[in-house]
Structure 1
Amino acid sequence: MSGSMKNGGEPDSLSGKLDQDIEEIGRRLGGSSDLAVKSLVVSGRYPSALVYLEGLADQTLLQTALESLMRVPGDGGESEAVQAGQPPEDDLLRRICERVLTTGGSSRVKDFNELFQSLLSGDSILMVEGQSEAIAAGTGGAEERSVGEPTSQAVVRGPMEGFTENIRTNISQIRRRIRDTGLWSEKYIIGRRTHTEVAVLYMKDIVRPEVLEEVRIRLGSIDIDGILESGYIEEFIQETTFTPFPTVFNTDRPDTAAGALLEGRVVIIVDGTPFVLLVPALFVQFFQSAEDYYQRADISSLLRLVRVISLFISMLLPALYVSLTTYHQEMLPTAMLISLAAQREGVPFPAFVEALLMEFIYEVLREAGVRMPRTVGQAVSIVGTLVIGQAAVDAGIISAAMVIIVSLTAISSFVIPSISMSISVRIIRFGMMILAGSFGLVGIFFGCVLLTVHICSLRSFGVPYSMPFAPAAEDEWQDTILRVPWPRMKRRPTTAVAGNRQRLGKRGHKGGGRS
């Protein structure tokens, strides 16, 4: 077989013999049933074949390409090539690429590596007898989900469209919101077998160069056989794995990604998933919602305060119940202490075991509700909350107060906008209960101090995770737990480059009213 050979004995370049090259493609794909070969004659005398994978190639674009190829002119174009000193065969491929194929991006492939990369991306490969090169026609157009409403970060007021699994659709949604030439995009191919396309978006004049360079280094160092979701990328590029807190923010909302770009963050989009990554990420960012910027400042500030309070309820309420009922009964009002004692009179377990058991049952019910089909998921929730909970109280296994504690904890965990942070709080909750069951309030205090020190030690792409509180940046407190009105948020956060942190123009400084 002609053509250069790889180390494994497989040919690297095309042989120029049509039947032989088609046979080699079929052999490498294992005779796959979705491999289609359409034979045709180009320019009236060149035997050719159009090779594509069914399901990856759009049938409309494919039909257009076939009709165009059947109308390739004959000898007239070849005489021009001979006068220019070019071989007629080379002119044929050039004319097909430049003048015939109108299906989008068409390029010439020189070896089997480029051929299979294009073929597996949905392109159709045109091979001509006697040619050691082929043409990849842009016919990719597999079935995909249309733009729909975000599912993980719903809002009452704001855009109701979310990202999809198509990387180009996701990039276009961001560009529709930021119509600026400063929005730049870089492309990466990651995964030795999946060849997953990854796009890095940033505002050239706002992003910090050291952050962008760190993103490039970490993405370039990934060496894995496959990337199927952005979670793969997240684990490779995160600062440290020994922490319950997420140091990379993910979202399925284009407006959230656009807002992050305008603050100097970098957006990482992975083909095949609607969840994009935003870096660097700050701890306070996980308690902010896109809706905060669409409501008035006073309403947004109230909602953020509710989320912060819900954080402490979800993380500490079961631990406080265990410590107070086990070690610090004197801190409870007498009436409440008598009521709790009466409820726990027939309960066979200590408060710590009771809380641990109920929290575990809740996690089981929550996971079952997620994994069960939607038609029966609601029924599982009703059975778990009403039947099992009420039956456990009537049987004297669990006290009614503990059911209330676990219910408040569960509801509070759903208030946190970020699912990744909500899961982290659920993990910390068990640790706090263990400390409370062992040392009481002293254990809870020690756990809170340990968490605070740990948060202050984390960094996300060189930016302190606890910014703008530690280190303190008073000029950025205007958009943390509380939010001031837009006319007062004049500067971008520290995530933006130092030379371009001015957000408002001169007209924006004066507030409302006409000039």
Structure 2
Amino acid sequence: MAQQSIRLSNWADLEQFTEELKRTLGSMPDLVFRSVGASLIVYISGLADQERIEREIVDPLSANQESGPLFIKTPSVQMTDNYQQTVQAILSGMAAVAICGEDQVILANVSASPKRGVSDPQIESSILGPQEAFLEDLDTNIAMIRRITKSEKFRMKVWHFGSIAHTEARLLYFDQVAPDELVAEISKRLDSVHLEDILGSNYIAETIKDRPLSWFPTVQKTERPDVVSNALMKGRVAVIVNNTPIVLLFPFTFWNAFETVEDIYLSYSSATFLRWIRAFFILSALLLPSLYVAITTFHNEMLPTNLLLSIAASREASPFPALVEALIMESIFEAIREAIVRMPRILVQAVSVVGALVIGQAIVQAGIVSIPMIIVVSITGIASLMIPHYETTFAIRILRIILLLMAGGFGFFGIALGLFFTQVYLTGLRSAGMPYLTPVAPFVWKSLKNLIIRQPFERS
């Protein structure tokens, strides 16, 4: 049946259809062929709900064999004469009903694919916001967004990728809210995706985002339906991929990385206060180790005499310069962080205690690293946890190491030079056509006000 068109005029055609399906899908134990009178029902037992098949397909066909498809009680059905579409429907958990004498196959949606229930967000937690996160099921995720927005402007475009693992992706946006240029640009990029196999949204993100090799993310990844809904209502677009709980949002600026979902659920004064605290500690996470190394190595005159003598006394037993101390502690901290992420949750607390107390105390007693450096790296580690966007933490950590090396070699001049080139690079970066540093560069005062102070919601 290589001609893609299904013929079921007689019993011979029905038998040929059966043999073709067996050749295409293989004679697998979970592939079920079931005859009911003049009809053939084909489905995969682990993906289709067999109770629904009995109740909605088999029983009606058995009672009304002459009427055929008119008595199938499945709410969602479609007709097709396309063989490849039939195969994909079966692989998606639908039941294909072929009736002798009919020109088309009935595809009944009786899917019962195993999926977990809606759970709390694991990455973007919130105290006051909704406690639900996306699943690996595409339709469920879209339903969660629809339940929040309830807008007639909601629109979708559909793409299918891959020749082995057929993956569906959808572009979500609000008509007359999202700029037409943005929708057209992301649609064009999705059209250019030619990956054979896509197992998650990151496959698509790396293919369609600006500067795929950049440390700084130009696409937002989120697990929260309320974040996606809020972004859509502000004119952004979302790309949602089947089999993954992570949704992509475009465009994504540098400042979006430091916004939290909690900002819209707190009062504007509380949200603004936390935003300033967050900004201070994020700067600390980026600059504190390099500033310490630069001051203790090149600019001792900037410290009060008592503090300088205290630091010098603490570093007297250490055989390494401040730069090497910082690199040692950064390496240990990164190793502990990676171990905590990869290990079973039941062991996380034990490893945290070992890493924070035992190793730290042993390093100080051995005279490898001074106590002030332990304090600096500890504050830096805590501050880096305040970065809301997970992927941006990697960019900050990489940039922190670069600034640390430049501070160890050139002092404040090295830090200033590193920040200058970083600013030049970020100024030229774009996300879906939008400058990455908007609204700072280019300068947009109206948007900048909301960046500095979370503006109170206006009364209509």
- Whether these two folds match at TM > 0.5 is yes
Q: Is the 8 A contact 2:228 2:249 kept in 1?
A: yes
> Any idea what the Cα deviations from partners look like across 1:385-441, whole Å, max 9, x if unmatched?
111111111111111111111111111111111111112111111111111111111
Query: Aligned to 2:63, which of 62, 67, 71?
Result: 71
Q: Is the 8 A contact 1:40 1:49 kept in 2?
A: yes
Mapping of 1:489-508 within 5 angstroms? 508=460
Q: Is 2:20 the counterpart of 1:24?
A: yes
Query: Aligned to 1:239, which of 210, 222, 246?
Result: 210
Q: Distance in 2 between matches of 1:311 and 1:143?
A: 41
Q: Is the 8 A contact 2:241 2:247 kept in 1?
A: yes
Question: Counterpart in 2 of 1:178?
Answer: 149
Q: Distance in 2 between matches of 1:423 and 1:104?
A: 47
Mean CA deviation greater in 366-375 or 239-248? 239-248
Percentage identity across aligned positions? 39
Q: Distance in 2 between matches of 1:429 and 1:441?
A: 14
1:257 CA displacement: 0.9
Q: Distance in 1 between matches of 2:134 and 2:336?
A: 29
Question: Counterpart in 2 of 1:148?
Answer: 119
Q: Is the 8 A contact 1:106 1:136 kept in 2?
A: yes
Which amino acid in the other structure matches residue 62 of structure 2? M
Question: Counterpart in 2 of 1:411?
Answer: 382
Which amino acid in the other structure matches residue 39 of structure 1? S
Question: Counterpart in 2 of 1:498?
Answer: none
Tell me, which stretches of 5 or more residues in structure 1 are unaligned?
Answer: 6-10, 78-91, 488-506, 509-515
Which amino acid in the other structure matches residue 114 of structure 2? E
Question: Counterpart in 2 of 1:58?
Answer: 49
Q: Is 2:375 the counterpart of 1:384?
A: no
Which amino acid in the other structure matches residue 50 of structure 2? Q
Q: Is 2:221 the counterpart of 1:254?
A: no
Which amino acid in the other structure matches residue 350 of structure 2? A
Tell me, which stretches of 5 or more residues in structure 2 are unaligned?
Answer: none
1:133 CA displacement: 4.1
Question: Counterpart in 2 of 1:373?
Answer: 344
Q: Is 2:225 the counterpart of 1:229?
A: no
Question: Counterpart in 1 of 2:423?
Answer: 452
Q: Is 2:258 the counterpart of 1:279?
A: no
Q: Is 2:326 the counterpart of 1:355?
A: yes
- State the TM-score, normalized to the length of structure 1: 0.85
1:141 CA displacement: 2.1
Q: Is 2:128 the counterpart of 1:157?
A: yes
1:73 CA displacement: 4.4
Q: Distance in 1 between matches of 2:27 and 2:306?
A: 79
> Any idea what the Cα deviations from partners look like across 1:44-84, whole Å, max 9, x if unmatched?
xx2x321111221123322222222212242xx5xxxxxxx
Which amino acid in the other structure matches residue 296 of structure 1? S
Secondary structure at the counterpart of residue 177 of structure 2: coil
Secondary structure at the counterpart of residue 486 of structure 1: coil
Which amino acid in the other structure matches residue 49 of structure 2? D
Note the aligned Cα RMSD (angstroms). 1.8
> Any idea what the Cα deviations from partners look like across 1:171-228, whole Å, max 9, x if unmatched?
1111112122111122221222222121211110111110000010001110111111
Q: Is the 8 A contact 2:6 2:17 kept in 1?
A: no
Larger radius of gyration: 1
Q: Is the 8 A contact 1:123 1:140 kept in 2?
A: yes
Mapping of 1:275-424 within 5 angstroms? 275-424=246-395
Q: Distance in 1 between matches of 2:42 and 2:163?
A: 23
Q: Is the 8 A contact 1:167 1:271 kept in 2?
A: yes
Which amino acid in the other structure matches residue 30 of structure 1? G
> Any idea what the Cα deviations from partners look like across 1:438-464, whole Å, max 9, x if unmatched?
111111011111111111111111111
Q: Distance in 2 between matches of 1:269 and 1:124?
A: 25
Question: Counterpart in 2 of 1:503?
Answer: none
1:31 CA displacement: 2.4
Q: Distance in 1 between matches of 2:95 and 2:213?
A: 46
Q: Is the 8 A contact 1:14 1:112 kept in 2?
A: no
Question: Counterpart in 2 of 1:166?
Answer: 137
Question: Counterpart in 2 of 1:81?
Answer: none
Q: Is the 8 A contact 1:17 1:131 kept in 2?
A: no
Question: Counterpart in 1 of 2:36?
Answer: 40
How many matched pairs?
A: 456
- State the TM-score, normalized to the length of structure 2: 0.95
Question: Counterpart in 2 of 1:202?
Answer: 173
1:13 CA displacement: 4.8
Q: Is 2:435 the counterpart of 1:480?
A: no
Which amino acid in the other structure matches residue 234 of structure 2? E
Question: Counterpart in 2 of 1:502?
Answer: none
1:12 CA displacement: 6.7
